């Protein structure tokens, strides 16, 4: 089901040919990987009362690999004594992310290795937390996560409406005011982005 959500309505062809610009937002390409996130399945979170939480973003991410990255993944699995069955057709991975704008953290909730038909070769459900303040500005993962946050800020009303419709969340008056003001606007008289930069300077 997770793979179906990430790769909905994709034609059966080569891995790179299956990445639709209508579904995926390309962010960057490095020497070893291409970074995308699924802009049709990006949502805000919700609290225990089913009210929308604009500080939380959930989104599936996709990375495609070059041949050297594929060899590196396979070699690491062998070194750890993990199965490499089917990994001759490894094409990339899917990660299911939960970003917390207020806390400036990213939780990687699930990782799946994928073959060229986007079938799942291996799955890890051990949650890993990344603190954005601990990553350098040049770090490729940091750039990726900040790009997702920026996208959510620009498309906040659209994402909120989708979250309300598909996740059954309620948009409070306070959340509506924040959406009108802009998701990236300072809250409680404080600029979160400047605060994060100040923390980095102190480090």
pLDDT per residue as tens, the chain (203 positions):
444 445 443 333 345 557 999 999 999 999 999 999 999 999 999 999 999 999 999 999 999 999 999 999 999 999 999 999 999 999 999 999 999 999 999 999 999 999 999 999 999 999 999 999 999 989 999 999 999 999 999 999 999 999 999 999 999 999 999 999 988 766 544 444 444 445 444 44
DSSP per-residue codes, 31-50: SSEEEEEETTS-EEEE-TTS
pLDDT of residue 183: 83
Element (H, E) at 93: strand 90-100
Report the b/e string of 59-73 with b at 16+ CB within 10 A. Answer: bbbbbbbeeebbeeb
- Domains and their CATH numbers in the chain: 2-181 (2.40.128.710)
Residue 107, class by beta-carbon neighbours within 10 Å (0-12 exposed, 13-18 middle, 19+ buried)? middle
pLDDT of residue 182: 87
pLDDT of residue 193: 44
pLDDT of residue 17: 57
pLDDT of residue 36: 98
pLDDT of residue 6: 52
pTM, two decimal places: 0.84
């Amino acid at each position: 089901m997770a793979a179906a959500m990430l790769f909905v309505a994709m034609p059966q062809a080569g891995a790179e040919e299956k990445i639709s610009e209508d579904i995926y937002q390309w962010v960057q390409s490095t020497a070893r990987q291409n970074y995308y996130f699924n802009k049709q399945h990006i949502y805000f979170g919700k609290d225990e009362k089913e009210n929308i939480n604009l500080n939380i973003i959930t989104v599936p991410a996709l990375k495609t690999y070059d041949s050297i990255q594929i060899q590196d993944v396979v070699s690491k699995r062998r070194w750890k004594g993990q199965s490499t069955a089917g990994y001759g057709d490894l094409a990339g991975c899917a990660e299911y992310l939960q970003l917390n704008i207020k806390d400036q953290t990213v939780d990687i909730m699930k990782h799946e290795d994928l073959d060229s038909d986007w079938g799942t070769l291996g799955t890890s459900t051990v949650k890993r937390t990344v603190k954005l303040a601990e990553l350098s500005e040049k770090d490729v993962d940091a750039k990726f996560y900040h790009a997702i946050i920026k996208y959510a800020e620009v498309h906040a009303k659209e994402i909120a409406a989708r979250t309300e419709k598909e996740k059954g969340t309620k948009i409070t008056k306070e959340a509506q005011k924040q959406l009108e003001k802009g998701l990236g606007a300072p809250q409680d008289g404080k600029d979160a982005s400047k605060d994060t930069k100040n923390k980095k300077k102190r480090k």
